[in-house]
Structure formats: structure tokens, C-alpha cells
Chains A and B, each alone.
Chain A
Amino acid sequence: MHQLIKPVELEHEDLLMQVESLSYRYPDGTQALAGIDLQVRAGDRIALVGHNGSGKTTLVKQLCGLLQPDEGRVRYKGEQLSGEHLASARLEIGLLFQDPDDQLFGNSLYEDVAFGPRNQGLSEVDVDLAVRQALRSVGLEDLLFKPPHALSYGQKKRAALAGLLAMRPSLLILDEPTANLDPAQERIFLDLLKNYSGTLILISHDLIFLYELCERALVLDRARVHHDYALKELVEHRPSLREHGLDFSFRFAESRRREERVEVERRKVRDPSDGTGPAAENPSTLVDLRSLSYRYPDGTEALRGIDLAIQPGERLALVGENGAGKSTLLMCLLGILPFSGEYLFTGKKIMPGKGRLVWQQTGMVFQDCADQLVCPSCYDEVAFAPRQFGLDEAQIRIQVEMALKMVKLDGFDDRVPLHLSGGERKRLALASVLSLQPQLLILDEPTAGLDPQGEELLLDILSEIDATLILVSHDIFFVRELTERTLVMHAGQIALDYSTTDFFNDKNLTSLNGLDYTYRDQCALQIRALQHRHEHAHRHKHLHEHDHRHGELVHQHPHEHEHEHCHTYVHRHAEAGAHQHPAQSEYHEHEHPGHEQDDHDHSH
């Protein structure tokens, strides 16, 4: 089944925004939008979804008048967005950019949040009130005068939202608002947006987040509106989700990886001397940290007495709230930061700030993969590390090809990294560290900014890599799939160190760091239950009454059919991964539109 665009027809006076035959082409010739028709009514809550590059960001820029259409028109409150009307419309439309640093241009939070209200011409008393209220609503009232560069990522995201809320916008457009946020910060966004009474347009790959907030789905595909209907309908229709890269049902598949991990854990329980336990004393220990501490130059204590042993082949997850010290610990593990304490890597002592020995055997994929892509071609990028360590060109070629193949980028040798999509760049960054065949692979938020299709591919790739793994992630599904040991960091310390199974069964975790990791699983299950309405076909009988013709005789009476067709019924799954259908009676009644037109025969 494939549902074509079905635009909602609205009365003119209800319209907040109207887009008519909008087309836009970038100066390099890329057709970003083509023939877009769209009507946004006051109070609409729209999920704007689609593949990377489908035109979502370009469309919202058009809605804010940041780009001017090549063809067509954009109207706000009935008037075309241009001149004076555009200037006043911008004061009523809030646009949240993906990277909060783009939006926080003030020298303190106060100055930044006050920027919009001052442009609105409010008096200083009203500006002060608006700023304080907005920052209070995002929980940053204690940091009014803090410079934005000194905020954590999550705080920056919230501050950027406060800058918009202070303007009391009638239309709020958010571009990937929850990317890279921990569950607690995501919850803050969710609550704020649920309480927001204006019109909302959300761009996100996070279907769970969208499902909580939006009623209408606008699906863009190759610069055009592909669907415009209720979000519930989109969510129910798995083929559409799959087509647009939004299907996350791989998260529910009973996975071989998980079974293997449970088996490894079972083995450990049976034989605790196998050397891979969390605190096992083992001469072959890969990483051994003793009382490792680090203090930032401003005096903030980032790590406090970390003791950690990692055995070769172990796959562990590092979780915790934003600012718990995870990234700092990774920097110390790489020997970048001047830590205090003792650090042994493969039994050799690593001096603070001198990590060359570690680098040769460790690969790290950064949260923002742009930080590690500096070369003009994919081949050079992947060959960068082997060249630095003096491998000969023939060997480098073999390793580059192997690494590119491993991340499913074979044939990308001459492509420019800057021109790749987000998912491809992430895989290229992975290839660029795999080319050294590292013993230890560190992944910092590998799923950040990826759509579900990209996540699924990355998961497949990562599960095939044979290396010791440290995974830093808020994505609990990846933690469950890829790791067998979990470290929970809190306030610069390893607060908990146990098996991943125990981590998932830990009911007290929320009270430690306020992060509810189960929330997303619950939402996903709800969505999954909806999706099953379309998935099953079975042979069945039903009785119905309709007009039908026998020769010249047209008459109507109830009659029974037996046939097979796709059949909608709702059933729930007891837990993630379980899939039992409820018992179906062979004979049951249901809607059968158009059946009277079908050819059929029956005894009479």
C-alpha cells in the first residue's frame, strides 16, 4: 500500500501559513524544493520528516523568510513574506537551529535571550521579565549571566530554546531539538513543547519524540511533499516509514547479538576466573586506570579517582548524564589531557598528555565526526592514520579498501567527505580509525544525528567489528545490543560498574542521575503496537450483506465468504522483541470496502 499526498484543505481564515507551488534551487543547481503546497493552521503540530537532503531545512528556512522562493509564494497570516511583513513575521516565528552555537551569539545568556525581545521593541522592564521567565522555564535561571561557551551542550540547547520562548512566538520551528541530549534533557524539551500552545513544526528523525508531540506528518521526499496526513497513519504504515528512513522496527527484532551477549554473561557467572569480569585482576589487562583524576584549568573537578580495568575483547558502555565526565574520561584514556593518577595501557605506563602509544592501538570516533574529517577525499581520509604511522603505500591501499568495505563505503574513494550525508560521514569517520586495525575502539555518541536507517546500518557494522569496545551513548538500545558491561558515570566518578543486564534491571538508577532510560522503550512499544494493525494477512471467513447480481437478478442478502487478504487488528506485545499474535477466530466480521464490485461466486 502506498498512500499518495492527501493535503488537508483548510478554510482561508484559519491559515497561519500558506505555501503555494514553492520551488527553490541552490546556487550550485541542486533542486531543494519543487512544487511545494502546504497549509499550516494555527495550533497545528506538524512533524516534518524525510531522508537527509529531502529539503526539510530548506523548507523551514523558506517559512522564516531566510530564503526567497524561485517560484511560488509563502504567505504568513494571509500576506506574502517580504518587506515590512517579513520583518514583523520574523518576530513571531521562532526557529531553533540544529547546532546551538549558531544561535547563542550573545556574550552572556541574559544578553542572548534578550536579543529577540529587544528587537520586538519591548521596554527593558518587559525584556527583563521575558528573559527571566524563559530561562526559568528551561531550568537555567541560575546561569543568567554565564557566557554561552562555558555551558554544556544540553544547557546550550535549552538556552537556545529560551531565546525563542522569550519572544512568545506564535509559530515555533525546531530542527532536531533533541539530538545528542541525555534522557533527562530530552524530557525537559518534551514537557516544554507539550505545554507550548502555539503552532509547532518539528524536524526530527526521532519518531518517538515526534509521536509524543505531533498530530500531523509532512513527509518530504526528493524536494517534494510526499505525504501530508495524520502522524498516526504514518506511524501505522510501516512501508512508508521504511521508505522514508524512519522505520525503527529493527530495534525490536530478536537479535543474535543479544543472545550472544547473554551467553557471554552466563559464562562469566559460571566461571568468574575467565578474566573478563569488571574488576578482574589480569596481567593481560588492556586498560588499567588507578585513582585517575582530572581538574579543568578553571578548577572544576571533572574526574575524581577513577579506577577501571578493561580486558581485551570486552565491550563496555559508558553512560551518564551530560556533564558526568564521560568525554573527559575518554580524553584521558587517549592520553590527551594531563590527568593525575596511574594509567597503564597494555601494561605500559602512559604519561599524562603523551598518548602516542595509545593512539597506535586505539581508534576513536568523535561525536561530531566533522572534527576528524580533514582530507579532500575519502581515500586520503582513511589512509591518513596508516600514513602517519609509516606504513607503505601498498599496505595502506589494502587497509583502506578493507576499512571502506567494512563500513559499506566501497567505491567512495574519490568522493569529497564534506559532500557526504551525515550517515556516510559517520561511517567514513569509523573507517578512518579502522584502517589502523585498532585493538580498542571508542565510540562517542555514534548514533547522534542518524536516521533509523543509518542507525540500523551502523549497528550491523559495529556488531561485526572484532575489537575491544567502549561505547558512550544515551541510546539504550545500542548499549543493550553491543555491550556486556556498563559503567554509570555520575559527577566525575564511576558510580556503578556491572553487567549490562544488571544495568537494565536496575530500578534505582533514576534516583542516582535522574535519567529514565526505560521511557523511550515504552514509547517505542506503543508505536510498535500501532504498526501491527497493518501487518498480518490470514485466511478467514466473514459474513456480509451487499447488492449482487446473479444473471439478470440483482438482490441483497447476507452471505459467507472465505478468502485471504491483509487484515487489520490491534494487538500488543508483552515486551520488546516478543511477537505472538492473539488468537483469531476463523469467522469474523469486518469492513470490506468495494467488495460488492469484486467477482465472486457462491451457492445460492
Chain B
Amino acid sequence: MSGTLQVSILWLLPLLLLPLAVYSGFRMLIGIARKEQGEGERDWSVPQLEFEGGESSPVHRWDVRFKLASFLILAFVIVSLQHPQTALAALMLALLGYRLAAIPWRRGFKRLLGMAGFLSMFLLMLPLTAVRHSGDLVLVFGSIDWLGFNLRGLDLAILIILRAATVALLMEPLLATAPLPVTLAGLARMGVPRRLTELLLISHRYLYVFLHEARRMQIGMEVRGFRKSTSLATLRSVGNYVGMLFVRSFERTERVHAAMLARGYQGYWPQPISFNVMPADYLKAAALIGLGLLLVICDQFMVG
């Protein structure tokens, strides 16, 4: 079906609310997933992953180098998909993998919620701004004929959202099923410069310190009455705030480096992490990449 379809102007309202509905949907999912949250303090005397339980899942037992390679290849495959149907199938597979890795849903939904605000805008922007091609079905609302809602644009928006959500969900089994130092050591073994992986490791640690510092400074400003507005005074205050954060971070960097040197740091982080490849690692990698290829073939078949 192609051409222009005249619909009542009232249809505009639910379409305008579509992004909000998607965003609220994600929030609701987080609310449901919150029930998974464990009560009480963890037992920190044993090695921890990013969450409790599930340490014996097939994804956890997978050699981190194979895991990294397989998931990254799969991510590239997914972003190359052209049809919402195959992208939806990829999302289903990602959810299955997520479940197999026994990761709490809340984490994944929270990650999706972080993207939802931005992605849901595509649902409105692309249909309203997509260039009309022959064969496009465009909804026109009553007498407002200059405002066409292009369903091809909606398709495209859904495709982008599905691809982004799938890749985001894949990142959880990739990053949360091994301690970060092990994942980064795996990256280093795969040829990523060691300096870069060590930088990532330290950045992860100091990201929390930076966020706490930034939050405390923000509170310090808020309790003295600071409220953002579109004024020059706000711009000046925000500039001072960012500058001060920069100065403090710079000073901290110097102190951290001095502390590392004082404890014998000589240019590399001593981490005796060893990897032991099993036949199952090859099998898992082959299965995952095979699924990716299957998705690509299906996608191409749909084009045909």
C-alpha cells in the first residue's frame, strides 16, 4: 500500500505521545524488575562480579577473549541489519542471551532507559521529516496537509531503536560476566595496547570518585540557591563549576600517579591473569557468530 492516507486530526495526539509512551514503558519495566533487587549487604569476602548469582552460566565460563571477539562481531552484524523483522529477531536473541547469563533485568532495562529518551524521539522525528519516496504511505491529519506522517520513517525509527537496544543488551553479557580487570586483560591479549587498557581500568575506578566530587560540588551550589536558567550568570557559574572540576581532577591525577610510583609502579600494572582455552569456547564462539550470519542471510533474503 502506498500513497496518502487521510486520517482524523485526533490521530496526531497519540502519535505525538508515542515517544513519551515508549519512555514510560521502559520506566515501568524497571519498576517491575526492581523486585529482583537483593536485600542486605553482599558477602564481599568472596570475588564479586557486577551482580550476585549466575556465576556458573555458560557466558560466565566462556574465555573472555572469545567472548569479546564473538560479541563484537555480532554487534557489527546487528547494526548492518536492514529490516525491523530481523532486528526484532536479533533483539529476541539478545534477550535470550541475557537470560542465559542470568543477569538481573533491572540492569539491562536501566541501560535501555538511559537511551530511551534519545531514541524515542526518532519515533516522531523520522516519520515527520523523512523525504517522500514513491511507494511511501503517508498519513495526513485532516486539513494539515503540510504535516505528513511517513510510515517508512516510522519503520526506520523502529529499526534504529531495535538495533540500538539489541547492541545495548548484548553489552551486559559481555561486560558483566567477568571482572573488569579480566575483560581488559583479554582485550590486551587481543592486541589492544596495554597502556590503553590500564587507562580504562583506572578511569573506571576514578569515574566514581569524579561523579561523587561533581555531585558534592553541585549540592554545594544548590544549597546556596543556585538554579539553572538561560542567563549569563548561570553560564558563568557553570563555567566556574566545570573549571574547578577540571582543576581538581588534574590535581588528583598527579597525586594518584605519585601514589602509584610510591608503591613501585614502573609503567605497567602487574596483573597475573591467565587464560585457559577449552573446546567449549570455540563452540560457543562458532554458535554465536553462526547466529549472526543466519540473521544476515535472513535479512538479505527479505531484501530479495
Contacts and interface: CB of A to CB of B under 8 A. Distances in A.
Given A66-B258, A105-B260, A374-B244, A145 B44 contact: yes
Interface in B246-267: 247-248, 252, 255-256, 258-266
Nearest to A104: B205
Interface in B221-265: 221-227, 233, 237, 240-241, 244, 247-248, 252, 255-256, 258-265
A371 B220 contact: yes
Interface string A351-391: 00001100110101010101111111000000011011100
Interface string A105-125: 111101100011011100010
A267 B202 CA distance: 58
A102 interface: yes
Nearest to A111: B181
Interface in A135-155: 141-149
Interface stretch (A33-41, A89-97, A205-213, A576-584): A89-97
Given A118-B272, A145-B47, A373-B244, A90 B263 contact: yes
Given A359-B222, A374-B241, A107 B261 contact: no
A299 B42 CA distance: 11
Contacts of A118: 270-272
A364 B219 CA distance: 10
A61 interface: yes
A118 B265 CA distance: 10
A432 B224 contact: yes
Give the contact-size bracket for chain B: 35 or more
A388 to B, nearest CB: 3
Interface residues on A, range: 35 or more
A105 B256 contact: yes
Contacts of B205: 104-107, 147-149
Interface of B: 37-41, 43-48, 179-181, 201-202, 204-206, 208-209, 212-213, 216-217, 219-227, 233, 237, 240-241, 244, 247-248, 252, 255-256, 258-266, 269-272
Interface string A182-203: 0000000000000000000000
Contact of A388 (B208, B225, B244): B225
B272 A145 contact: no
Interface in A230-285: none
Contact of A145 (B45, B223, B237, B255): B45
A102 B259 contact: yes
Contacts of B48: 108, 145-146
B41 A300 contact: yes
Contacts of A66: 258, 261-262
Contact of B179 (A107, A167, A389): A107
A99 interface: yes
B262 A95 contact: yes
A100 to B, nearest CB: 10
Contacts of B227: 356, 388
B203 to A, nearest CB: 11
Question: Most chain-A Cβ atoms within 10 A of its Cβ — which of B180, B223, B240, B272?
Answer: B223
Residue of B38, B41, B225 ringed by the most chain A CB atoms within 10 A: B225
Contacts of B181: 107, 111
A385 B237 CA distance: 11
Contacts of A163: 263
A105 to B, nearest CB: 6
Given A66-B258, A334-B223, 16 more contacts: A99-B255, A101-B252, A102-B252, A102-B259, A103-B259, A111-B271, A119-B270, A145-B44, A299-B37, A371-B213, A371-B220, A374-B237, A375-B240, A384-B224, A385-B224, A433-B224
